[in-house]
Amino acid sequence: MGKLLLFFLGFALCLQVSLQQEGCKGRKAKARAPPRTFKADLVKAPCVLSQSGTQQPASSPSAPKLQLLSNSTVAYLRGPLSTRVIPIIYILVIAVGIPANAAILCALVTKVRKVSSAILYCSLALSDLLLLLSLTFKAHYHLHGNNWGLGEAACRVVTACFYGNLYCSAQTLACISVKRYLAVVHPFLYKRLPKRTLCAGACLAVWVVFGIALVPELIVQQSYELSQLGVITCHDVLPLRESSHVFLLYYNLVLTLLGLLVPLVITVVCYVQIVRELSHSHHDWDMYIKASSLVLVIFLLCFTPAGVLHFIHYVHLFVADNDSLYMHFNLAVCLCCLHSCLDPFLFQIMSRSSGSSLYFRVLKGRLQRIST
């Protein structure tokens, strides 16, 4: 019995040493992050021998260290594009967008029970507000030389809030375009639909789906120390060569496709059909056609560069291990953020051009009023 007990004690000691060695060797497996960024190699902390004879990881800094691989990454992080141009654009967008969206949100809250469109516009305004609030932290980060000093938890929350609301805004705009398409092109079907229920369901689905989809941003390491520059980056530089990054690459490719490119296609198709239908009408819809065309053009200018560059950036990372498009993608994201401060004004243009309603000649020549 004594020998058996000694055997199990020895086995347990060996197992403990083995697990500690594996924990030291496998530290880079903990840094699993989405490949939306520059790539770098993780600097492993050395193991030290404790007084008991077991190996333990040496004390680590507040953020894991990365070794930069590209001179272009250093140039971007130190250059005026990321430290001056991008944060200045963010500040201008914040200064205009937050009060405009807050005003629209307050005005629409009282109309949610009466007008179905108010549900979609409230969701859009809320999404834009959260996006703009996350921009305040990103502007602070860029103005301080791309040095994140608010901790890892805040970095994860800001990153998830930024990209999550970017996708939510694009999807909500697509829902609004579908609603307008049905009202203009299929007015009989549109009249029979339970519009408030469908609008509320669409908004809830968008928020739930993309809330779940952004969970990886909240559970992976996002901030890393760059010894070469003396800064701690937030999401900009990640160890993309670490284990499981291939899965996350596919994951973010799908997220970009569904979150940006699919809404882009849906919106373009809907507005083209709307303009075509109204152009063939016997009534004067000139103002509404111009307003719809303006909304479509601004949507294309704001979301197309980011959606396309985002997707191509992932493809380059997967095929050629090339991250050179990331700085261009960051600049394109500024256009998406610009749309968040323009949405309230575009809503006013569309409302005034149509008088908040559309009229179509139906049912033996009588005019049918259909709210949009």
pLDDT tens profile 261-273: 899 999 999 999 9
User: Which fold does the domain 71-362 belong to in CATH?
Assistant: Rhopdopsin 7-helix transmembrane proteins (1.20.1070)
Task: Note the pLDDT tens digit of each residue in 36-88.
Answer: 555 444 555 444 333 334 444 443 446 778 776 577 778 888 889 989 999 99
Global pTM reads 0.77
Task: Note the pLDDT tens digit of each residue in 328-352.
Answer: 778 888 888 999 989 988 888 877 7
Task: Note the pLDDT tens digit of each residue in 203-225.
Answer: 999 999 888 888 888 888 888 88
Joined together, the tokens standing for residue 44 give 């492993």
Q: Which of 23-27, 116-120, 132-136 has the highest mean pLDDT?
A: 132-136
- Cα–Cα nearest to 67, from 181, 225, 263, 281: 225
Task: Note the pLDDT tens digit of each residue in 142-158.
Answer: 999 999 999 999 999 99
pLDDT grade, residue 123 (50/70/90)?
very high
